[in-house]
Structure 1
Amino acid sequence: MGSHRRFASSGFDRGAAALCVLSAAAAALGAVPAHAAPHTDTSAEVDRLYQEAEQATQAFDKARERAGTLRREVRDAQDHIARQQQRINTLREQLGSLAGAQYRAGGIDPAVALLFSGDPDDYLDKASTLDRITSQQAGQLRELQSALRELAQERTETAGKLAELDSSRKAVAAHKRTVEKKLAKAQKLLNLLPAAERAAFGRASRSDDSGRMDLSYLSDLTGAGAPDARAAAAVAAARSALGRPYVWGASGPSGFDCSGLMQWSYAHAGIQLPRTSQEQRFAGRHIPLSQARPGDLVIYRSDAGHVGMYAGNGQVIHAPYPGAAVRYDPVGMMPISSVTRP
């Protein structure tokens, strides 16, 4: 397990990159033939739907992870409550033996009768009665008092967790419906495209910025290796997943979404990354893109909705989108918001 702190982004020249992107995009749009506009519009709408589905997928992943955590916490709390109740029952039995002995001797002392009032606090608050029981009995009663207080507190906390779990389950279901709706609409639009254009849609990026960012300085990194053994192990794991399908909400081993692939790969290196790309953005130290090394997490778009792993030679390994397998793509396939070194 690795521990991470949130670091402030060191940043890089987003303004220059954005200007380059906008200029190139404007030039490219001017070159689009009029007859191509309908199909271009369809592709752009599919891109948008995929991006929205990915955002919903990350929300689904987060809600499902929280639900899993709450289920474990509730289960542990219920087990502890059961043990605490057994402890209380045992204490009452021990204290009850005192009452039984006194009854057989000819009656129950009023002090002992208080044991069965259901309110040990009332008993202990009456200091005048404490001289009627032994120090051992007083200690047992105080232990019972403490156990009852702890049990009441644990039951209250568990009730709150159960309510949160119910809300989290509903959030999971809502995000799942959103993802499925977006993906179904995207697939319907893709089916409207001619076969050749539909086949060509499996490109590197779902962004109009594809391939237009100036990343020439990355040529200096072609021979750079992973910064440490853990990063190297994560890269090796990611490479072993090449060709496996994108499956939204999945974190391996047979399928992955983008953040699930990063989490699975780094788990093989002994580091537990958070589940979503938004959280993975802060799971280490931010570095400039020009200093990227294999194993670094490349976070895309301003919403941090997509993540890939830098693999060297100006490429990332990532799970792109539904219908595409885990693969290599150019690191500049879409706008980069930050680079994180776990």
Structure 2
Amino acid sequence: MKSACRTLALLLAFGLTSALGNVAIAQEITVYSGRSKSFMDHLFNAFEKDTGIKVNRVYDKTAAIALKLKTEGERSPADVVLAQDAGALGSLSDAGLLAPLPESITARVDPTYVSEEGDWVATSLRGRTLAYSSARVDENDLPASVYDLTDPKYQGRVGFAPGNASFQAFVTAMRLSEGEEKTKQWLLDMKANGVKSFPKNTAIIQGIAAGEIDFGLPNHYYLIRFKISDSKFPVEQTNFEQGDIGNMVNVAGAGVLKSSKNAEAAQKLIDYLLTDKGQHYFVGEIFEYPVVDGVMPHRQHGDLDTKLEQAPEVDLNAISDLNGTLKLLREVGLL
């Protein structure tokens, strides 16, 4: 009897040890994502399936995510941050909240798209563009520069999304390259010229198609999503003249929080986003440009080199003053 009890006790102890071992092995991370649920859920699900690492997800606008992380500081439960633009990532880096990434991750991406501190890395590229109505706009009527949109002939015909992180990064880049006064004056002149504010880029494209506006300032990939569904969708897009700030190329990117207690698993997620599988998802499903060599852009993109030649020179490490841009947008009455 005593022998049986000892055997049972040993089996129970072994079972408990095994269970505790499984708990220790089980991994999960928390991601604060400024990229939308509709964009990222599929990729997070694939990562969970391929690695066994559970991803807890918190979605919000990129600016709100950055503010949340700064407010939480070392107490944040976040392990990874995904942002829509380099400006928000730069502001988190400046605040000392991001940890250096291993070279095995940063070396996979062109140094142009890695922070100087090595604490964030691009996961995809996106370009600012001019979208316009193919039904109501003659190509001879297209503006050469984003600054031309303040001309009275465009009054009430233009839309943008001042609450969108990509637009805010564009304004930050304009402040950096053109100066505070010129940027403020452009925003005031756009407002005086009847610019219409939309909640997001998708609504800009829909507004053009519906006849609410004739021109819009979105990222390039939003129109592609409509064109894939309907090749006759009545909106086209183009670049401004070479070097114009309206052609800015920005990044979506990711970093690991210094406060993360799951840094190794967090790095695995960022590494996964840079695999062929992750890059093909960004290209084939979101219609962004890849950041890893060997992955081809979507056929609807056109040549990436041409897009980069048209883009202005913007140091993505220098557009971290998100707070200054938010303050300016509030000051001119656009937020």
The structure in which a higher percent of residues are strand is: 2
Computing the radius of gyration over CA atoms, which structure comes out larger, 1 or 2?
1
Please tell me the TM-score bracket, short chain as reference. Answer: under 0.3
TM-score normalized by the length of structure 2:
0.23
TM-score normalized by the length of structure 1:
0.23
The structure in which a higher percent of residues are helix is: 1
